[in-house]
Amino acid sequence: MDLRDKAALVTGGAGGIGEAAAGALLAEGAKVAIVDISAAALAETAAALGAEDGRLLTIAADVSKEDDVKAYVQATVDAFGTIDVFFNNAGIEGRVAPLVEQEVEDLDRVLAVNVRGS
């Protein structure tokens, strides 16, 4: 697949599937923005991916916050001119406990990231 001159945005891009997807997109020639809540993890991932030719953008943001989503979409468009691929990969497990022991706030956070998060 030839993705030269294409721009991709990957949420949850600082590890696991997101990091692998970002690496694959870069290998196919795409410009890639990776978004993650952890700036430190983003720095480690950027170093591991080794894209030093301006094709990798890292953005620390919370996918469950509308203002953050607007900001990272705009930052990607500003850097690359467009977004051709949007991989909504961010997700969290949340607190592991029987449902009757879950707090509403914990469930709200999981739904905010996994369902509403972009």
Residue of 7, 12, 53, 57 lying closest to 33 (CA atoms): 57
DSSP one-letter string for 21-71:
HHHHHHHTT-EEEEEES-HHHHHHHHHHH---SS-EEEEE--TT-HHHHHH
User: What is the model's pTM?
Assistant: 0.90
State the residue for tokens 């943001």: 61
Average pLDDT over residues 2-13: 97
Domains of the chain: 7-90 (3.40.50.720)
Q: Is 7 left (phi over 0), alpha (psi -120 to 50) or beta?
A: beta
Across the chain, mean pLDDT equals 95
Q: Is 76 in contact with 53 (CB distance < 8 Å)?
A: no
For the stretch 11-59, pLDDT in tens is 999 999 999 999 999 999 999 999 999 999 999 999 999 988 999 999 9
